[in-house]
Structure 1
């Protein structure tokens, strides 16, 4: 099993006191002070990985670095391409501190990570995400992942774009408190449709940006759960709407969160990556590692 980090953006904002317009971390790459903040963020996670002797997944800071969000922040296509190159280089530098680490090129949804909004067709999504997928792959990312995705067609398009580029890819859906994808479909339907429409070419699926209690009802019986390879949960049990409106960070309880992860292990036989999402930091990931990784070793 592999370990990854917690909530990058919430940690930078609430932990380091940084201002991230539009919740975007990639502008930090523009200066050495920002790059230092990113290295500082990763340091305790690397220590946890060393302590447990497990492989680690290092994300690029490019979740918001697509054309729409980039334009809002003053970055044109050429500038965004440089962002992806620089982000992969920094992630590779960080990954180099561990003997067995993977650089994960991160993409986010075209729109909001909590609300569906305007839906693209799968063809439109493939065209939209392909330049970012290609930039990450050409810069040397080992794989690419689309995080906090809210509807199926965008996921299908992303997987097709990754297949065209020739880079392994992972789709990570977010779910609401009822265990459904924000578009209203079940997680099972979302996974099965994406696999059907892409000939199963994704390396796997994940869930992120949801508390374990919200995710648990989604994992019913069926072969589809074998395709779920990762989980990165929120510290808070709040709904996405409540989190959007919150003025203070709800960091929950790290040990309780870790127990929620442990409860999912028996339902996710292919689980390979664990980490955190919004509201989590190195305390949560240490607790998850101590609980989940040791549990996995005992079982196997």
Structure 2
């Protein structure tokens, strides 16, 4: 197979440039046209139903189809490569031909595009490399991320060799499959030295979600940070059922939005599926979408024909494209739903109990490989009010990557919450990212061993960028963990400049952890640690309002009675939130609202946080020897956390039904 690009003509940014000038029109269905071509089993080389083999056996048929769509007014056609993936071609025992058939399918379309030349207004004819989802979904355990990524690499490499102008990852049902295809596409472009745009089209069923249950908000939250150039919908339904999902994308996506619907919902007819939407009806719907949602690219999917595209092109040419002013949301997501960093009435609660270092119950369940118990702990945190889960499997003597794969792959479909992957080991982080289709946060990076190309910082940041994750950055440098506010700020500014300037993330993608240390030991050198942390958050928040902040709150109270810890943690958290903290790694049910803490306990805890000893203390009663640490320990001597506060569930259970809701 040749690696020569056959006269690719206009490519790379040309497709995006043309789309910025006017709405571009894609083609219609490939399968519908092939079914009408009266092909024989010999045409399929005995591989009945394998459309991709026609790239080798009947290029003339495909040329006719591409030409018909161009003549109808399409600006771009999709290659006959939808099934050039491992699961589809593997079913025919020709998986070794992925790259070859991808190349041939792309070269056929490229040849027709070049033959046709520019359209009447001078716009070039474009070739979109079609990548379908295959029949095996990684989030459901049918295959692994690595296996389908490597197969997609071969597919995209063939498209690049064949002269594609863009890659279209379409009919996607699983966000993890989308991620694998995008990662593969970028790797292929890097290896072959040619960069073209990436388009992502997801398929939303009549249920209102993708096949695996993903809401459109979850899809946008997970896909846009991967760096794709356009996002949209195709297949499954007609335009009517896509309207609200397109409205969401139009309002919130910072990249162009597109659509390629079926010709209505399929109906069962004497010859199988039939699509009822007539060309004028599709044209009316798509031109309305352009005028209402500001779509940049439209076309057709199943059941659409050159006549559909002819009328769509004419209608869109007359439409006035709406201006879009998207309201971007800074967020993470699970496979199912997105969770904004900015919560309306709370900080973002990151559940701490799915951490093998911080939770004995979780560690024991993990070591026993009692994964159901691990999932139960995750669900308990969800019920307690967590918005995200901190997943840490690091344990001496264990294969962390294997543990992470086992747990993250189960959390992916059994928990509705996004995951913060918590590890010091790059390969453990990689295992988590390759198991989770939603947008994760990675905890964490720091400068403990510097920032050179082989440092943990660089290795983890490479994964963060590749998978479109958010990142927790700790104020640790080569000298150690920053203790004073000035030191914390100095390291934080270096991290922010590095992550945005050298790694291309936005400030909103950074979650700073300015570190907190126990102020409960009585040692003089730790007395101001709470003050220094709060001051660092306040000053950094003022300087970088888009950056997020987090803390492992319970560190502040290490060693105290559990009831005293609950109060001190709650008071310290409140003060940090007032300073600008917007996320925290906590056990949600063990955080008390300030108005639920007795005055004396709250005042003494505040005295301890702000190191108000002697007469300066709120509860000193003028005593020069007043020590809030000693006073707090006295207040909680013999008091258990259970007796100090009823559980949130018990508290809610006492309320009348409508108040509880």
Same fold judged by TM-score > 0.5? yes
Larger Rg, first or second structure (1 or 2): 2
Unpaired stretches in structure 2, ≥5 consecutive residues: 1-22, 119-123, 190-194, 324-661
Q: Which residue of 2 aligns with 1:18?
A: 39
Distance 1:165 1:87 in 2: 17
Distance 1:59 1:211 in 2: 19
Q: Which residue of 2 aligns with 1:145?
A: 168
- Specify the SS of the correspondent of 1:276: coil
In the comparison of the two structures, how many residue pairs are matched?
A: 281
Contact 2:292 2:322 in 1 (8 A): no
Q: Which residue of 1 aligns with 2:310?
A: 286
Q: Which residue of 2 aligns with 1:66?
A: 85
Paired residue for 2:72, among 48, 63, 66?
48
Distance 2:259 2:272 in 1: 26
Paired residue for 1:237, among 247, 255, 265?
265
Q: Which residue of 2 aligns with 1:257?
A: 282
Tell me by how many angstroms 1:231 deviates.
Answer: 1.0
- The reply on whether 1:268 has 2:283 as its aligned counterpart is no
Q: Which residue of 2 aligns with 1:131?
A: 154
Distance 2:117 2:141 in 1: 41
Tell me by how many angstroms 1:172 deviates.
Answer: 1.0
Unpaired stretches in structure 1, ≥5 consecutive residues: 50-54
Contact 1:122 1:155 in 2 (8 A): no
Larger RCO (alpha carbons 8 Å, 6+ apart): 1
Paired residue for 1:206, among 212, 219, 232?
232
Do the aligned partners of residues 298 and 163 (structure 1) sit closer, same or farther apart at CA in structure 2, a change above 3 Å counting?
A: closer
Tell me by how many angstroms 1:62 deviates.
Answer: 0.6
Q: Which residue of 2 aligns with 1:3?
A: 25
Contact 1:206 1:229 in 2 (8 A): yes
Do the aligned partners of residues 217 and 178 (structure 1) sit closer, same or farther apart at CA in structure 2, a change above 3 Å counting?
A: farther
Tell me by how many angstroms 1:176 deviates.
Answer: 0.9
Tell me by how many angstroms 1:23 deviates.
Answer: 4.7
Distance 2:168 2:314 in 1: 25
Distance 1:178 1:187 in 2: 12
Contact 1:258 1:291 in 2 (8 A): yes
Distance 2:141 2:269 in 1: 19
- Specify the SS of the correspondent of 1:219: helix
Deviation track 1:17-67 (CA, whole Å, cap 9, x = no partner) reads 336767542211223xx2221122223322222xxxxx7112211101112
Distance 2:256 2:214 in 1: 16
Q: Which residue of 1 aligns with 2:100?
A: 82
Contact 2:239 2:264 in 1 (8 A): no
Distance 1:68 1:57 in 2: 27
- Specify the SS of the correspondent of 1:279: coil
CA RMSD of aligned residues (A): 2.9
Tell me by how many angstroms 1:159 deviates.
Answer: 1.2
Tell me by how many angstroms 1:228 deviates.
Answer: 4.6
Do the aligned partners of residues 256 and 112 (structure 1) sit closer, same or farther apart at CA in structure 2, a change above 3 Å counting?
A: farther
Contact 2:224 2:253 in 1 (8 A): no
- The reply on whether 1:91 has 2:118 as its aligned counterpart is no
Paired residue for 1:215, among 230, 235, 242?
242
Q: Structure 1-normalised TM-score?
A: 0.82
Contact 1:2 1:273 in 2 (8 A): yes
- The reply on whether 1:161 has 2:184 as its aligned counterpart is yes
Deviation track 1:242-293 (CA, whole Å, cap 9, x = no partner) reads 6799714224211112222123224432x22211110110111112112122
Do the aligned partners of residues 17 and 186 (structure 1) sit closer, same or farther apart at CA in structure 2, a change above 3 Å counting?
A: same
Paired residue for 1:103, among 127, 132, 150?
127
Tell me by how many angstroms 1:98 deviates.
Answer: 2.4
Contact 2:26 2:299 in 1 (8 A): yes
Contact 1:143 1:169 in 2 (8 A): yes
Do the aligned partners of residues 22 and 255 (structure 1) sit closer, same or farther apart at CA in structure 2, a change above 3 Å counting?
A: farther
Deviation track 1:122-170 (CA, whole Å, cap 9, x = no partner) reads 5554334222122222332222111111011111121122222234211
Do the aligned partners of residues 39 and 251 (structure 1) sit closer, same or farther apart at CA in structure 2, a change above 3 Å counting?
A: farther
Contact 1:173 1:181 in 2 (8 A): yes
- Specify the SS of the correspondent of 1:104: strand
Of 213-222 and 157-166, the range deviating more from structure 2: 213-222
Distance 1:208 1:272 in 2: 14
- Specify the SS of the correspondent of 1:206: strand
More helix per residue:
1
- Specify the SS of the correspondent of 2:171: strand
- Specify the SS of the correspondent of 1:145: strand
Distance 2:220 2:89 in 1: 29
